[in-house]
Amino acid sequence: MNMKVSAAQTTAAGGAAFGRPADEAIAADARALSEQLKAMRDRLFPPTARKTLRSFTSGEAAKLIGVSDGYLRQLSLAGEGPQPDTGAGGRRSYSLCDINALRRHLAEQAVSKGNGAKARGYLKWRDALRSEHLQVISVTNFKGGSGKTTSSVHLAQYLALTGHRVLAVDLDPQASLSALFGYQPELDLTGNDTLYGAIRYDAEARPLKEIIRKTYFDGLDLVPGNLELQEFEHTTPQALSARQSGADAGPLFFARVQAALASVADDYDVVVIDCPPQLGYLTLSALCASTSVIVTVHPQMLDVASMNQFLYMTSDLLSVVREAGGELNFDFLRYLVTRFEPNDGPQAQIVGFMRSLFGERVLTSAMVKSTAISDAGLTKQTLYEVGRENFTRATYDRAIESLNAVNGEIEALIHAAWGR
């Protein structure tokens, strides 16, 4: 094959404009950007360049646990449970690890008094003996800018803050979820350390337990993502072809994520999967592993039209999977309105239109558009990580109220699925 191209073709491809071949110019830009991102991380999170979670005031801790601040103070004075750090003026603060230890302490006290319901209010872990199955929630859409990753990370962190054991799975090769947890994929991941390592078809496959990483959020673990996830899209057709020739390649593609998650199910209450913005084998395998699905949608007509195509394509592909033996039984499917501006008339009309069509399948609460969320993102943080003192109080309160309302509604759906 003749690989030579004319000068006109090179210019059209951008090579002459760069003064070098386009692939080399793009690679140089990637390296330069990577170096700057690393420098930014080193500057934002010294001395180890790793993120940490802030401590919580006694009032915040009491609210998270579900007790009064006065009762928390009584526990501290009585020496019960972990003791808070005391700062200037006697202000008490707790780490999330302390808060979870207090939850366990209070739950044990409630159980000793025969009050199991109260214990479950403190410690929200699922009870397999009561047939409370692992909840696997896929957050998905194939339209960019729908708030998919923002919704995923805030949901995972909210569930961890409220006392659940959570596994966040970054299934998007762009790895935005991983970045929000402090990872820079090209520097921190060396290969075979994403979910692909657990679902690949060859002898290099690893147990998922070896891939999972602890995060700075107590009770929240992460399966990071990077570009190697895209390999699943390339190797799956080969595996399907080999199967037709009689080779045994293990579970079919749509059962592989489910099988991987089943191997660690006992360690978690909820898995939150940030799906890639496309309907490929990865997304289909995630949907087949899911007990519930959240579809994010930005209330603009083009986004709604795109979602319509997404739903048609998803339905067609999942019907093929079901005919091939895949199980598709969701506890719930909900549409989450994101980046919502309540004072925008056309957006309000579109949300009303969706509610008239889908009824309760549209979450009652919407994730409002807020500068607080975007400002936190500048330092690769979420709103649950940044203190209220860093924002205009009204802006912060409006954004956090919206996030808590959305995530609280999803938490209630999870508990309903468990029969609580």
Domains, the chain, ranges and CATH? Answer: 56-122 (1.10.1660.10), 128-418 (3.40.50.300)
Over range 338-356, report the average pLDDT.
90
- Looking at per-residue pLDDT, the higher value among 35 and 386 belongs to 386
Q: What are 134's strand-pairing partners?
A: none
Over range 176-199, report the average pLDDT.
90
What pLDDT was estimated at residue 48?
Answer: 55
pLDDT digits over 75-131, tens only? Answer: 888 888 888 888 877 788 999 999 999 999 999 998 998 888 888 888 899 988 888
- Looking at per-residue pLDDT, the higher value among 348 and 14 belongs to 348
- Looking at per-residue pLDDT, the higher value among 363 and 129 belongs to 363
pLDDT range class, residue 44, cuts 50, 70, 90: low
Residue with tokens 């500048």: 378
As a whole number of angstroms, the distance between CA 177 and CA 148 comes to 10
pLDDT digits over 214-235, tens only? Answer: 999 999 999 999 999 999 999 9
What pLDDT was estimated at residue 392?
Answer: 84
pLDDT range class, residue 17, cuts 50, 70, 90: low
Three-class secondary structure assignment of the chain: CCCCCCHHHHHHHCHHHHCCCHHHHHHHHHHHHHHHHHHHHHHHCCCCCCCCCCCEEHHHHHHHHCCCHHHHHHHHHCCCCCCCEECHHHCEEECHHHHHHHHHHHHHHHHHCCCHHHHHHHCCCCCHHHCCCCEEEEEECCCCCCCHHHHHHHHHHHHHHCCCCEEEEECCCCCHHHHHCCCCHHHHCCCCCCCHHHHCCCCCCCCHHHHCEECCCCCEEEECCCHHHHHHHHHHHHHHHHHHCCCCCCCCHHHHHHHHHHCCHHHCCEEEEECCCCCCHHHHHHHHHCCEEEEEECCCHHHHHHHHHHHHHHHHHHHHHHHCCCCCCCCEEEEEECCECCCCHHHHHHHHHHHHHHHHHECCCCCECCHHHHHHHCCCCCCCCCCHHHCCHHHHHHHHHHHHHHHHHHHHHHHHHCCC
pLDDT range class, residue 47, cuts 50, 70, 90: low
As a whole number of angstroms, the distance between CA 37 and CA 57 comes to 31
- Looking at per-residue pLDDT, the higher value among 319 and 159 belongs to 159
What pLDDT was estimated at residue 2?
Answer: 45
Q: Is the pLDDT of residue 198 over 60?
A: yes
Over range 168-196, report the average pLDDT.
90
- At 31, list the tokens: 């390296």
As a whole number of angstroms, the distance between CA 395 and CA 371 comes to 8
Residue with tokens 């975007």: 374
- Looking at per-residue pLDDT, the higher value among 38 and 121 belongs to 121
What pLDDT was estimated at residue 382?
Answer: 92
Q: In what order do the strands lie in the sheet with 220-223?
A: 213-214, 220-223, 166-170, 270-274, 135-140, 292-297, 332-337
What pLDDT was estimated at residue 144?
Answer: 66
- Looking at per-residue pLDDT, the higher value among 305 and 5 belongs to 305
Q: What angle do CA 302, 307, 310 make, to 5 degrees?
A: 130
Burial of 377 (0-12, 13-18, 19+ CB in 10 A): middle
Whether the CB-CB separation of 376 and 351 falls below 8 Å is answered with: no
**What percentage of residues in the chain have a pLDDT greater than 70?**
90
CB atoms within 10 A of CB 10: 16
Whether the CB-CB separation of 334 and 306 falls below 8 Å is answered with: no
Q: Is the pLDDT of residue 12 over 60?
A: no
Instruction: Output the CA–CA distances (angstroms, integers) from residue 262 to 49, 79, 255, 289, 337, in the order listed.
Output: 33, 40, 11, 9, 31
As a whole number of angstroms, the distance between CA 289 and CA 136 comes to 7
